[in-house]
Amino acid sequence: MSLLFMEPTSRHQCLIYEGAPSLHLPALARVIRARLRENYRCVYLNSPTMVAGMQSYLAAEGVEVAKEIARGSLVVSAEREHLVDGIFDVDGMVRMLEQTLAQALRDGFAGLWATGDMSWEMGGENNLTKLLEYERRLEDFLEAHAEMGGVCQYRIDTLPAEAVRHGQIAHRSMFINETLSILNDDYVHPRMRAAWQPPQRQNALRH
């Protein structure tokens, strides 16, 4: 794989990791701080525990969390309104992002930056077809809207190996930290994914 320093090649990035998700909160908090300074509306979606942790790390980075939430520049939420009776709704999730971006632009922000844990967003539904469809539509949406970017988080400990592999092929670059990303040689273009088969001994990336 190729190393790329500072600015990633893709606004649709993936963080694949194992272990405590709190280990990645400092880096994500620094990205959010930077995007807030660039006048982006930032959205962080995760469990209540992780939302509380993110608020603490943002405060440690000098972000006035309550003030940013009050003015609408920061949204930290454990809500899962895109789930229908606990089932992941691809249309609902994409529609929510479209509406959130449109509202951010109407409110005078430069754009939208979002990150969320895929286990939390999917509500525990391990539907690989839905996952790949969501990632395909998300990539199409981000390609069409330069005002939006984000990081999809895949935790190896909580997702089926096949779901992690799907996440791996769906992103052009892999998030390492706030200043470094890796060009993803395993990326497969959406038009080619229907015929894609993982190598028999392929292992998920671990950071």
Contact 180, 5 (CB under 8 A): yes
Of residues 159, 185, 156, the one with CA closest to residue 171? 185
- 3 state DSSP class of 82: coil
- What is the arithmetic mean of pLDDT over 7-34? 87
Length of the chain: 207
According to CATH, the superfamily of the domain at 2-195 is P-loop containing nucleotide triphosphate hydrolases (3.40.50.300)
- Kindly tell me the sign of the dihedral angle through the C-alpha atoms of 46, 48, 53, 55: positive
Highest mean pLDDT among 38-47, 165-174, 196-205: 38-47
- Inform me whether the pLDDT recorded for 29 exceeds 80: yes
Is pLDDT of 33 > 90? yes
Residue 39 has pLDDT above 90, yes or no: yes
Query: What number of other Cβ atoms are within 10 A of residue 3's Cβ?
Result: 9
Domain boundaries, the chain: 2-195
Q: Taking a C-beta distance cutoff of 8 angstroms, is the pair 176, 207 a contact?
A: yes
Over residues 78-122, the pLDDT tens digits come to 887 767 777 788 888 899 899 999 999 999 999 999 998 888 777
The neighbour count for residue 194, using CB atoms within 10 Å, is 8
Structure confidence by residue, pLDDT tens digits, 185-196: 888 876 665 554
Tell me what pLDDT residue 185 has: 85
